[in-house]
Amino acid sequence: MTDDEFPSEPEAEAPIYTPPPKAEEAVEAAPAREPERPAPAGPQTLWFEQALLADGWARDVRFTLSEGMIARVDTDVPCQPGETAHGPCLPGLPNLHSHAFQRAMAGLTETRGPGGDSFWTWRELMYRFVDRLGPDEVQAVAALAYMEMLETGSTRVGEFHYLHHDKDGSPYADPAEMAARIAAAAGETGIGLTLLPVFYAHAGFGGVAPGAGQRRFVHDVDGYGRLVEASRAATAGLLDAVVGIAPHSLRAVTGEELTAILPLAGGGPVHIHIAEQTQEVDDCLAATGARPVRWLMNNAPVDKRWCLVHATHLNAMETERLAKSGAVAGLCPITEANLGDGVFPAPDYLAAGGAFGVGSDSNVLIDAAEELRTLEYAQRLTRRARNVLARAPGSSTGGELFRAAVNGGAQALGVAGGLRRGRPADFVTLDRTHPAMIGRDGDALLDSWVFAGRHGAIDGVWRGGRQVVSGGRHHAREAILARYRTALGSVLA
Ligand code: NGQ
Ligand code: ZN
């Protein structure tokens, strides 16, 4: 892409979008709060023809809900008169890694540039795009991305959030101004939010000063502490929000800074980008004498609270150590394919007992099933084999990948995964009338969804007992799309 393809800066005073009326009021007017729900008359129940419970598939399932949680599970019970019979029910697939704002540049970086295009040339374009986004645009774009996540089967997102400051790099009056917009988008759509405010300080290994394109991301350790605290306040009104921390990468954070910020996690998740590009591995080796994952395992208390995002380039020893650490590998197969990152050594990692989940990262395309499909297909293409990631004869690839990614994703996002008593009433139903679902039951439904579903395979989505998607469409789709259209009008103007 050439410079002129992202047109010149919009006027500072140019209107951004109509309602909410003013930027200052927008924070107040769009609080980080779930929309009001009417008080249910009696105990709320939902009946499904079958459901993937935490301990396996069950038929004729009734969930009794209380305050958005599953209070009781009955199986092999008939649908009562007056009760709606819903299709096959799955837990939502956690989306453990998103940069919501990047949804707005999806498809705009697929034109060949003057030299060889790479992750690094993409990143330059992304930095230029970032410069066009204010708080209103970030909220509108995040709402669109979160709506699409819900419509395609994710009920919680891990937002790896690093766009903190104003366009000139100066902090907003509220250090969590942008975090509040992410929270507002989550509240508007209903998606569960694990907010991961990012610590970013350097342009490369050895504490290199940040570049101009990174001015909106950077903090010192004290400023970051204030951001984490303000992020907790910004998400306090949301149902079951979690706040963790996210040192951006070993490129952007020194060892000393990493040690200094870890206590801010307060028991919550710790996410870091790592070993995504071979250049990064080479630079880390040159700067520290160790490859990135080895360096991290040797210098940080990596355990089950951690999520190592990408971890694409692992040698055999690193694969084994990461698997045994209990941390989650945060795989982002669609983005990793789009950015030309490489292929994660999934068979060896799974054989060593490693946990993983999936994330939509750049949000170039948002589709939970397609993340799992791409994960498996990268293996099939490179190994010239089929059903690579299903580990035992007779086990379903879609079923195994889905269950593992539900558990790993929930762990990475600091919540419990799966459907059972005491867990949130977060449900996704497959559309029984979709051609790919006809005549399938149990794991065959998951295989058909992952490998053969395409658009339209999802029918309903509930979050905290409240239905937010029906017939595959989010209930606020029109309004969210209208605000997105307005926001893009100014971003791409
Ligand atoms: C990000 N994305 O933070 O959005 C990064 C690019 C970087 C991915 N790594 C920036 N996929 O890693 O320096
Ligand atoms: Zn990322």
Distance 203 CA to ligand 1 centre (A): 12
Predicted confidence at residue 391, as pLDDT, reads 87
Give CA–CA dist 391/401, Å, rounded: 10
Residues of the chain scoring pLDDT < 70: 1-42
Distance 363 CA to ligand 2 centre (A): 10
> Could you tell me if residue 395 is inside a domain?
yes
> Could you tell me if residue 487 is inside a domain?
no
Ramachandran assignment for 206, one of left (phi > 0), alpha (psi -120 to 50 degrees), beta (any other): left
Top mutation candidate among 99, 196, 336 for ligand 1, by most atoms within 8 Å of CB: 99
Chosen domain end from 412, 443, 472: 412
Do 285 and 386 fall within a single domain? yes
> Could you tell me if residue 491 is inside a domain?
no
Ligand lying nearest the CA atom of residue 162 = 1
Distance 123 CA to ligand 1 centre (A): 7
Do 66 and 204 fall within a single domain? no
Could you tell me how far CA 291 lies from the centroid of its own chain? 26
In this structure, what is the dihedral angle of CA atoms 348, 152, 196, 278, given to the nearest 10 degrees?
40
> Could you tell me if residue 425 is inside a domain?
yes
Catalytic residue among 240, 361, 367, 443: 361
Atom of ligand 1 nearest to the CA of 252: 13
> Could you tell me if residue 489 is inside a domain?
no
Give CA–CA dist 22/15, Å, rounded: 10
CATH code at 11? 2.30.40.10
Do 248 and 381 fall within a single domain? yes
Do 20 and 159 fall within a single domain? no
- 310 part of the active site: yes
Do 219 and 342 fall within a single domain? yes
- 303 part of the active site: no
Strands (E), 93-241: 95-98, 156-161, 192-199
Top mutation candidate among 98, 123, 307 for ligand 1, by most atoms within 8 Å of CB: 123
Do 60 and 178 fall within a single domain? no
Do 178 and 310 fall within a single domain? yes
Distance 337 CA to ligand 2 centre (A): 13
CATH code at 398? 3.20.20.140
> Could you tell me if residue 115 is inside a domain?
yes
Do 429 and 347 fall within a single domain? no
Do 376 and 273 fall within a single domain? yes
> Could you tell me if residue 188 is inside a domain?
yes
Task: Give me the domain span that covers residue 78.
Answer: 3-91+421-480
Catalytic residue among 97, 164, 248, 310: 310
Chosen domain end from 368, 392, 412: 412
> Is the CB of residue 27 less than 8 Å from the CB of residue 21?
no
Predicted confidence at residue 399, as pLDDT, reads 98
Chosen domain end from 412, 443, 462: 412
Query: Does this model's pTM top 0.85?
Result: yes
> Could you tell me if residue 485 is inside a domain?
no
Predicted confidence at residue 37, as pLDDT, reads 54
Do 79 and 205 fall within a single domain? no
Give CA–CA dist 164/156, Å, rounded: 22
Q: Is the CB of 431 under 6 A from ligand 1?
A: no
Nearest CA to ligand 1 atom 10: 123
Do 15 and 141 fall within a single domain? no
Cβ-in-10-Å burial (0-12, 13-18, 19+) of 38 comes to exposed
Q: What domain count does the chain have?
A: 2
53: how many CB neighbours lie within 10 A of its CB? 20
Sign of torsion over alpha carbons 67, 415, 218, 212: negative
∠ CA 126-314-115 to the nearest 5 degrees? 35
Cβ-in-10-Å burial (0-12, 13-18, 19+) of 377 comes to middle
Q: Is the CB of 121 under 6 A from ligand 1?
A: no
In this structure, what is the dihedral angle of CA atoms 52, 56, 61, 62, given to the nearest 10 degrees?
-80
Predicted confidence at residue 455, as pLDDT, reads 80
Predicted confidence at residue 333, as pLDDT, reads 98
Do 68 and 183 fall within a single domain? no
> Is the CB of residue 429 less than 8 Å from the CB of residue 458?
yes
